[in-house]
Amino acid sequence: MHKSGEREKNKTKQVTRHCSHLYLSIYKAHWTVDERERERERALAMAGADDLKVLGLWTSPFVIRVRIVLNLKGLAYEYVEDDLSNKSALLLSSNPVHKTVPVLLHAGRPVNESQIILQYIDEVWAGTGPAVLPRDPYERAAARFWAAYIDDKVKSAWLGMLFECRDEGERAEAVARAGEALGTLEGALRGKPFFGGDGVGFVDAVLGGYLGWFGAVGRIIGRRLIDPAKTPLLAAWEDRFRAADVAKGVVPDDVDKMLAFLETLLANYYSK
């Protein structure tokens, strides 16, 4: 019985050792894979100008916001203007689902959809430049909420004011919807210089992308769309945002050029 008990003990120890070695092997294998992936991400994050490329359209609010955030982070990139009436092979292969701009190409890998791109930039280059999204989870959730609100309410009104209205009555209705949405955003600004606090952040970039077209709308309706009489805080925000270094050369300020582009765009659309 004694020898039999010893044999059982030894067998148990051998099994235990074997399991421990097996666990360590599996753990090391996973650790090696994880470490390789982390190294890859670190290498990508250090990519230079040749590895960052934006496919875009100069008037697109969604492209403009991406360029603003790249400027905010101080990242060099190549900008490639695409012709959406004759889309490039690079655009179609980089965004085969929606076939739209913007596309961010990072070391040859495409990232699509503007708000996703902004968050990707903030995550990959977390240690570079100012944070785009707040670090506090609650504040980050609030920023995402307001960005989604803008691309629901403001985007809908923008399309209605310029591209979908069949007469001045429909344009006026879309302008009223824009005013209502902007009034709500006035409350969200809460007296801060920017939605991001003291500096440009996620919500600022999302709304700021529309400002070029807001200038064009202002010319059409004979007043500023962000009306200082109705939304003074937001009107002051617009002035600060347009003057910010990250917006210069990116947010269009030539209203005549914007309106000429709109006329060409609509002519091409209605000729089909």
Q: Is residue 234 packed enough to be buried (19+ CB in 10 Å), middle (13-18) or exposed (0-12)?
A: buried
User: Domain ends where: 9, 28, 46?
Assistant: 46
Give the C-alpha distances (Å, rounded to integers) separating 146 from 64, 69, 258: 18, 17, 27
User: Domain ends where: 46, 62, 79?
Assistant: 46
Kindly state whether residues 142 and 266 are assigned to the same domain. Answer: yes
Kindly state whether residues 216 and 264 are assigned to the same domain. Answer: yes
- Considering only residues 190 and 272, tell me which one the structure prediction assigns the higher pLDDT: 190
Per-residue pLDDT tens digits for 164-175: 999 999 999 999
Per-residue pLDDT tens digits for 124-138: 999 999 999 999 999
CATH code assigned at 113: 3.40.30.10
When divided into structural domains, the chain yields a total of: 3
Domain-embedded: residue 132:
no
Domain-embedded: residue 129:
no
Banded model confidence at residue 18, pLDDT cuts 50, 70, 90 = low
Kindly state whether residues 143 and 237 are assigned to the same domain. Answer: yes
Place of tokens 């990242």: 75
- Please determine, for residue 10, whether its predicted confidence score (pLDDT) is greater than 80: no
pTM summary value: 0.83
Kindly state whether residues 76 and 41 are assigned to the same domain. Answer: no
State percent of the chain over pLDDT 90: 79
Kindly state whether residues 196 and 172 are assigned to the same domain. Answer: yes
Kindly state whether residues 141 and 264 are assigned to the same domain. Answer: yes
Kindly state whether residues 40 and 53 are assigned to the same domain. Answer: no
Domain-embedded: residue 131:
no
Q: Are 173 and 221 in contact (CB under 8 A)?
A: no
CA distance 182 to 188: 10
User: Domain ends where: 72, 93, 124?
Assistant: 124
Per-residue pLDDT tens digits for 88-112: 999 999 999 999 999 999 999 999 9
Per-residue pLDDT tens digits for 235-252: 999 999 999 999 999 999
CA distance 115 to 151: 10
Q: Please say whether the dihedral angle defined by the alpha carbons of residues 107, 109, 114 and 119, taken in this order, is positive or negative.
A: negative
Kindly state whether residues 41 and 54 are assigned to the same domain. Answer: no
Kindly state whether residues 143 and 264 are assigned to the same domain. Answer: yes
Kindly state whether residues 158 and 216 are assigned to the same domain. Answer: yes
Residue 191 is predicted with a pLDDT of: 85
Print the domain residue range for 14. 1-46
Kindly state whether residues 38 and 53 are assigned to the same domain. Answer: no
- Considering only residues 92 and 2, tell me which one the structure prediction assigns the higher pLDDT: 92
Tokens of 164: 């979908």
Assign 141 to helix, strand or coil.
helix
Domain-embedded: residue 130:
no
CATH code assigned at 249: 1.20.1050.10
Per-residue pLDDT tens digits for 191-233: 899 999 999 999 999 999 999 999 999 999 999 999 999 999 9
Rg (CA), the chain: 26
* Arithmetic mean of pLDDT over the chain: 88
Kindly state whether residues 64 and 21 are assigned to the same domain. Answer: no
